[in-house]
Amino acid sequence: MNHERSRDLYDRALSVLPGGVNSAVRGATEPYPFFAESGDGGHVIDADGNRYVDWLMGLGPLLYGHDTPEPVSAAIQSHASQGPLYGMPTEIEVEHAEFVARHVPSVEMLRFVNSGTEATVSALRLARGHTGRDKVVVMQGGYHGAQESTLVEGDADHVQPSSPGIPASFAQHTIPVPFNDHDAITEVFEERGHEIAAVLVEPILANQGIVTPVEDYHETVRDLTEDHGALLIWDEVITGFRVGGLQCAQGKYGIDPDLTTFGKLIGGGFPVGAIGGPAGIVEGFTPSGDVFQAGTFSGHPVTMAAGLESLTYAAENDIHEHVSALGEQLREGLREIVAERAPSYQVAGVDGIFKVHFTREGAGEVRNAADVKAGETDRWRSVFRPAMAEEGILLSQNQFESQFVTYAHTEDDVEETLTAYEATL
């Protein structure tokens, strides 16, 4: 494959964009990222005209791959040509909020924002305002966007910011615990439960490999938060409207969080975030409450139209069933290949997300972020991913991000991908 144009664009980009990109993970591939030119169903075409089966899929916001269904395109175009925004409320925001409240079990009311990061920032502010407490519990390796409270590393006893530029005093309010460890979070609540405003957790760790919850883990966390007067916030930025269909992961796992953060699919491919929950908590936001929250672009009509129409189309056309079935077909094929060619590796994922963990021999089942990190991540990055790209299969930029199945993917895409895994593993 020829990548000359991508290389030249990257060279130019390095002069005007830090690291040549506008989001860190895009620069994670070596020696340089491929620049995208266009999409076509389940495929993406790069700046040199190379065509790939695309499992990166914008990192999650594209339920229909690169083909937008006609009613969705029409709604986007009509709203884009009408303004496109006003600084005044619009009907489409109300309709979208009504749709989400109808489908997501714990959501009665929503505040729309512009990114998943903004959603988690605002949710934590709301939880702290609601409880009058400062501390938040997060999972080691959980990701909640580029925000001060959650960019931390360490454990419950020794925590520090994971990035320069964040005051150490901020990190002192965050308590990281290992995912799927009942004892660790129980101990934290026994010692500091009265100080904890919230637990912020992804239902499935989806940015540190894919790690699904062990039995009763979420039930334990739900009980602990209830018993100690803390809020349970589920970060469904990735799982929302992808895992568990329109009910999201909370419907699938039968847990009612106090707050839910959304992003990605709720905006149908446009910049979005949202915080949802019962009115008694969400009304804490200004102007109905005192917890300040605002945004020029929040509830943008084009985003609202894209999000509402794409989820409505999904509700009317069994889209999630198709995506999940194709996802299972892919995972099943991967399990067979892994069993034969790399028996220590593990296939992860559920519904429309998948990943192969490059676990080392004797490592045991992946239960948390540390288990994923201990795998052959260098092999994945330097050898495996580039080789898959040469075979025409585009995977996520590193070993930790999820890969996404969409309605545009076909059984042929799955077969082509399995053949490439077989050749490359």
Q: Which stretch binds ligand PLP (CB under 6 A): 113-121, 193-201, 314-322, 362-370?
A: 113-121
202 binds ligand PLP (CB under 6 A): yes
Catalytic residue list contains 143: yes
- Contact call for residue 116 and ligand PLP (CB under 6 A): yes
Angle at 353 between CA 350 and CA 354, to 5 degrees: 85
- Grouping H, G, I as helix, E, B as strand and the rest as coil, residue 133 is coil
Interaction mask 143-172, ligand PLP, x per CB under 6 A: xxx---------------------------
Cβ proximity of 358 and 345 under 8 Å: yes
The residue behind tokens 């959650």 is 150
Q: In the complex, what is the shortest distance from the CB of residue 336 to ligand PLP, in angstroms, rounded to a whole number?
A: 29
Query: Is the bond preceding 31 in cis, omega lying within 30 degrees of 0?
Result: yes
Can you tell me the distance from the alpha carbon of 239 to that of 204, in angstroms, rounded to the nearest whole number?
8
Check binding of 131 to ligand PLP (CB under 6 A): no
Which residue, 316, 288, 353, 322, is CA-closest to 103? 316
Residue 274 CA to residue 370 CA, distance in Å, equals 29
Give min distance, CB of 397 to ligand PLP, in A.
12
- Give me the least distance between CB of 236 and ligand PLP, in Å please: 8
Should residue 240 be labelled a site residue for ligand PLP when binding is judged by CB under 6 A? no
- Does 237 participate in binding ligand PLP (rule CB under 6 A)? yes
Contact between residue 78 and residue 305 where contact means Cβ atoms under 8 Å apart: yes
Residue 115 in contact with ligand PLP, rule: CB under 6 A:
yes
Find the catalytic residue in 52, 143, 217, 407. 143
- Residue 156 near residue 118 (C-beta atoms within 8 A): no
The yes-or-no answer on residue 264 being catalytic is yes
Which residue, 233, 226, 228, 256, is CA-closest to 147? Answer: 233
Over its C-alpha atoms, the chain yields an Rg (Å, rounded) of 21
Region binding ligand PLP by CB under 6 A among candidate stretches 34-42, 141-149, 185-193, 332-340: 141-149
Number of H helices, E strands in the chain: 15, 16
Of 236 and 391, nearer to ligand PLP (C-beta) is 236
CA distance 232 to 41: 37
Which of 93, 235, 351, 391 touches ligand PLP (CB under 6 A)? 235
Residue with the closest Cβ to ligand PLP? 116
293 binds ligand PLP (CB under 6 A): no
Binding region for ligand PLP (CB under 6 A) out of 1-9, 231-239, 316-324, 391-399: 231-239
What minimum distance in Å lies between the beta carbon of 117 and ligand PLP? Answer: 3
Give the dihedral of Cα atoms 210, 214, 218, 221; nearest 10 deg: -110
- Asked if 303 touches ligand PLP (CB under 6 A), the answer is no
Peptide bond into 278 cis (omega under 30): no
Q: How far is the CB of 77 from ligand PLP (least distance, A)?
A: 24
In the complex, minimum distance from the CB of residue 183 to ligand PLP, in angstroms, rounded to a whole number: 24
How many residues of this chain bind ligand PLP (CB under 6 A)? 15
375 binds ligand PLP per the rule CB under 6 A: no
Q: How far apart are CA 424 and CA 287, in angstroms?
A: 56
Contact residues toward ligand PLP (CB under 6 A) are: 59, 115-117, 120, 143-145, 202, 206-207, 235, 237-238, 263
- Active-site residue numbers? 143, 235, 264
